[in-house]
Amino acid sequence: MGAGGAWSEMWNGLSSSLDGFSAATIIISIIIVIPTILWIFSSLSAKARPEGRRPTPPGSTGLPLAGETIQFALAMTRKDGLIKFISERRKKHGPVFKSHLLGSPVVFLDPPAGNKFLFHNEGKLVENAWPASVSALLGETSLTKKQGEEYKLARRYIAGFFDQKATMAYLARVDEVASKHFATHWKGHEELSSLLMATIYTFDIICDLLLGLPDEPELQELRVCMKQYSFGILKAPINFPGFAYYDARKARERLLEMYEVIITRRRQELAEGNAHPDLLTNLLTVPDEAGRFYSDEEIKDNLLLFMFAGFETSSVALTMVITFVSKNPQVYELLLKEQKEIVESKRMRGESDMLRVEDLSAMKYTWRVIQETLRVQPSVNGAFRDAIIDLEYNGYTIPKGWKIMWTNQHSHYDPAFFPNPDCFDPSRFESPPIPFTYVPFGGGPRICPGYDFAKMEMLVFVHHLVKNYQWSLTHPDEPIIRNPTPRTARGTPVRITKIEL
């Protein structure tokens, strides 16, 4: 008998033995009563504190079972929702407060000290934490799931393939993909969706970096599956047809199958001596510091992680650059001036159009525009950590097993750190921000390993864009939403005019 049969027999037996109780009563008991009792116990045990121990942070545990999950989930879909969620609770409870999300107490700390505390204590007092539903889609052996010494070893190994030196070695290739992108996808159009264009660009680049740009049909299927995967991974974990989370699970299965085919093909190419120099080739040919080669499962999980983490983050940032620059003509003029100078000085030196490392270093204002964009609408607005022991912060105890969330949007909008925060002003980055107030890439040992790469690919894109096109927003009042990455409701359609610098 299959497991399903055993469960239904047990369920039938249980139903018939409980005279007077309808199945609905039992279901209601399971769904509402039991979790409520558990919630009351967890709230009481949170309140009962041993002698001498400091109190847990003040805050609200919200509704039984749901806690404040609904308010939080809604806040994450609005452009400044998280800022309001945090500000309201700070006013009520103080700078360090607790909430109750997805069945767990969650503490919010006060940046910059709180961010510094978390980033400095990664692996000592706190560890990376993902909700179980997200974990299931990330894969057991991906870098982001590892902890402690195992994490450090894996991070040095994998992130080493994305460090500054490796990134700069890849510049010529990214420049080539960018030139082709504008020549094929932008040429001849009068209006197009910025989000779609930026997504095609960053997806082609990440595929090339990880797997070598596959042929169009394979690339197309990867795009479709990855879109489904990234759309559903953070959605309500309802694993049932018709729900985004279910689709994401299916997409993960298909992506792993596709990677399997690509790995087999790559082994063949390596044997023939004509393999593309990318992450996959590196993982198959270079062992880690301990002399170990990754298993196919580890390779597939990490290809999936880097593909997921490495395309939408940059594409939404580029779409936001297009949006904010359009709305700030004086910023566009300065951006144009800088890019014009770069193009002209290359011509004066008799160089080809190909970008060199020195050209990227000259894009100081361009980088400030991207930094300011990531201040106003960070692609990722925070992440969770688990307290791995009972820890003390600012006079409070945060018990082992509680979650702590670091966020960036709140400090990015704090006038104490960023005067006149509603104004889009790239020049504010002429001097470095106060440490731990500006954290679009996170911080500490878990800081985004794709930082150098993301910076390079975004600078290259903006260079080609400004050099080749002027643009204006088709719907200047299009609202910005978060899902939870920022985007405009219609994908920022723009009218474009070809120019020559």
Residues binding ligand HEM (CB under 6 A): 128, 143-144, 162, 305-306, 309-310, 313-314, 317, 374, 379-380, 383, 440-442, 446, 448-450, 453-454
- Residue 294 Cβ vs ligand HEM, minimum distance, rounded to whole Å: 15
- Residue 173 Cβ vs ligand HEM, minimum distance, rounded to whole Å: 14
Relative to beta strand 486-488, strand 403-407 is unpaired
- Residue 159 Cβ vs ligand HEM, minimum distance, rounded to whole Å: 8
In sequence order, the 6+-apart residues with CB closer than 8 A to the CB of 260 are 296, 300
In sequence order, the 6+-apart residues with CB closer than 8 A to the CB of 356 are 171
Based on CB atoms, which residue is closest to ligand HEM, 158 or 258?
A: 158
Based on CB atoms, which residue is closest to ligand HEM, 26 or 76?
A: 76
CA–CA separation, 25 and 13 (whole Å)? 16
Based on CB atoms, which residue is closest to ligand HEM, 178 or 346?
A: 178
In sequence order, the 6+-apart residues with CB closer than 8 A to the CB of 390 are 53, 397, 398, 399, 400
Residue 94 in 3-state DSSP?
Answer: coil
Based on CB atoms, which residue is closest to ligand HEM, 94 or 445?
A: 445
Based on CB atoms, which residue is closest to ligand HEM, 138 or 346?
A: 138
Gyration radius of the chain over CA positions: 25
Based on CB atoms, which residue is closest to ligand HEM, 134 or 383?
A: 383
- Residue 61 Cβ vs ligand HEM, minimum distance, rounded to whole Å: 25
- Residue 155 Cβ vs ligand HEM, minimum distance, rounded to whole Å: 6
Say if residue 9 is exposed, middle or buried (CB neighbours under 10 Å; 0-12, 13-18, 19+).
exposed
Check: CB of residue 110 under 8 Å from CB of residue 57: no
CA–CA separation, 171 and 175 (whole Å)? 6
Contacts 24+ apart (CB under 8 A), 156-163: 156/288, 156/289, 157/288, 157/289, 158/279, 158/283, 158/302, 158/306, 158/449, 159/449, 161/279, 161/282, 162/449, 162/450, 162/452, 162/453, 163/452
Based on CB atoms, which residue is closest to ligand HEM, 225 or 405?
A: 405
Based on CB atoms, which residue is closest to ligand HEM, 262 or 309?
A: 309
Name the closest residue to ligand HEM (Cβ): 450
- Residue 132 Cβ vs ligand HEM, minimum distance, rounded to whole Å: 16
- Residue 44 Cβ vs ligand HEM, minimum distance, rounded to whole Å: 32
CA–CA separation, 24 and 409 (whole Å)? 44
Phi first, then psi: what are they for 273, rounded to 5°?
75, 25
- Residue 478 Cβ vs ligand HEM, minimum distance, rounded to whole Å: 21
Residue 59 tokens, joined: 């805050």
CA–CA separation, 124 and 111 (whole Å)? 19
Residue that has been written with the tokens 């290809």 in this structure: 303
Alpha-carbon distance values, 107 to 55, 95, 387, 391 (Å) = 13, 11, 10, 12
Based on CB atoms, which residue is closest to ligand HEM, 204 or 397?
A: 204
Based on CB atoms, which residue is closest to ligand HEM, 321 or 466?
A: 321
Check: CB of residue 308 under 8 Å from CB of residue 448: no
- Residue 306 Cβ vs ligand HEM, minimum distance, rounded to whole Å: 5
String of DSSP letters for 302-331: HHHHHHHHHHHHHHHHHHHHHHHHHH-HHH
In sequence order, the 6+-apart residues with CB closer than 8 A to the CB of 335 are 325, 365, 366, 369, 462, 466
Check: CB of residue 18 under 8 Å from CB of residue 30: no
- Residue 357 Cβ vs ligand HEM, minimum distance, rounded to whole Å: 18
The answer to whether 448 is annotated as binding is yes
Bind-site residues for heme:
448
Bind-site residues:
448
